[in-house]
Structure 1
Amino acid sequence: MSEEAAEHAVKKVFAILGVDIDRPESVEEFREDLRFGKRMRKIADHGTLALFGVFAAGLAAALWAGIVSNIKH
C-alpha cells in the first residue's frame, strides 16, 4: 500500500516536470537536460570568476599607473 502510494507520488512529480518515467527515452532526455544545466552553471561560474579577475587586474593597473604618476611628479 505505501509502496504504491510512493510510486504514484513519484510518477505524479515527474509528470509535473514533463517526464514519463515509463518511457526510458523520456527519462534519458530529462537526465541530459540536468547534465546540460550543470554544464551551464559551471560555465557561468567560471565566467564570473574570469570577470572578477579582469576587474581586479584593471584595478591593479590603475593603482600602479597612479603610483607611478605620483612618483614622477
Structure 2
Amino acid sequence: MNPVLVVHGGAGPVSEDVKERLRQGIIRAATVGYCILREGGSAVDAVEGAVVTLEDNPDFNADTSLLSDS
C-alpha cells in the first residue's frame, strides 16, 4: 500500500503575491510528512512533521494542536 498524506494550508482569500510561497510551503510540509511515512514512521509522526513544518513557516497561521489517543 502506498501512503497518502494531505496537507491543507488554510482557507480564505490569498493575494497573488503570496500564493506561490504558500504553495511551496504546502509542498514542503507534505514532503516532510511523506518522507516520515516512507521511512517507516507512524501516521501521527508524519502529521506532526507536516504540522511543525507549517508552524515554522511565517506565511501560515498554523496554530494547531495534535490529538492522539496514545
TM-score (norm 2): 0.36
- Name which structure has the greater RCO, CA cutoff 8 Å, separation 6+: 2
Whose helix fraction is larger, Structure 1's or Structure 2's?
1
* Greater Rg over alpha carbons, structure: 1
